[in-house]
Amino acid sequence: MLRVGLTGGIAVGKSYVSALLRELGCHVFDADDIARAVVQPGMPALNDIVDAFGPDVLAADGTLDRAKLGRLVFADAEARSRLNAIVHPRVHAEQDRLLREVEARDPQGIAVVDAALLIESGGYRRFDVVVVVWCRPEIQLARLMARNGLSREEAAQRIAAQMPSEEKRRYADFEIDTSEGFEPTRQQVLALHAALRARALTR
């Protein structure tokens, strides 16, 4: 089975690319969904987060208040590092479990993990292929402002909190440039899938 890590900055179109790969028959997992699962009430990661950041990061029902925690860590690189040290090892372990399940069912399949922090976390080393989705900076900023209702300053702060696309691209085996919109992106994804399919069948 071919293990593919798909990554890219906020609001670059990564979700659209992963949705297309799913339509084309890839087994796609969203690292955000996995991250939400590992911080459910009763899970060790949630207890560690409360120990690190205090009970104020919990909602009234005992679940993690992701918006409140997000505001904390977006503004503080040290807090972001503390959170990542708690969550990433649990996320990686769950990803590995899911990938083993897929490999047992579909040994020549393509499994894709969609993860914004694939490179920053070091998780990219666990994949056969790394795909980086990106777009031009001014388009990324405009998309994030429109999508999340943020001011230019707020959107710029969120983008600055992540590794720049230019740096991510250095790790890429394949790149998808979404700057020109849906149809040009779709054509790139079709070509990518053909290349991944060829690799998966020759493993």
Angle at 144 (CA atoms; ends 142, 150), nearest 5 degrees = 100
Work out whether strand 129-134 and strand 27-30 pair parallel, antiparallel, or are unpaired. unpaired
Please give the backbone phi and psi of residue 177, each rounded to the nearest 5 degrees, phi first.
-100, 110
> Are residues 4 and 112 in contact, defined by beta-carbon separation less than 8 angstroms?
yes
Q: Is 15 annotated as a binding residue?
A: yes
102 carries a ligand binding annotation: no
Cβ atoms of residues 52 and 14 within 8 Å: no
> Does the annotation list 14 as a binding residue?
yes
CA distance 122 to 133: 17
3-state secondary structure of 134: strand
Q: Annotated binding residue at 12? A: yes
13 annotated among ligand-binding-site residues? yes
Q: Is 168 annotated as a binding residue?
A: no
Amino acid (1-letter code) at residue 192: L
Instruction: Give the residue ranges of the annotated binding site for ATP.
Output: 11-16
Question: Binding site, residues?
Answer: 11-16
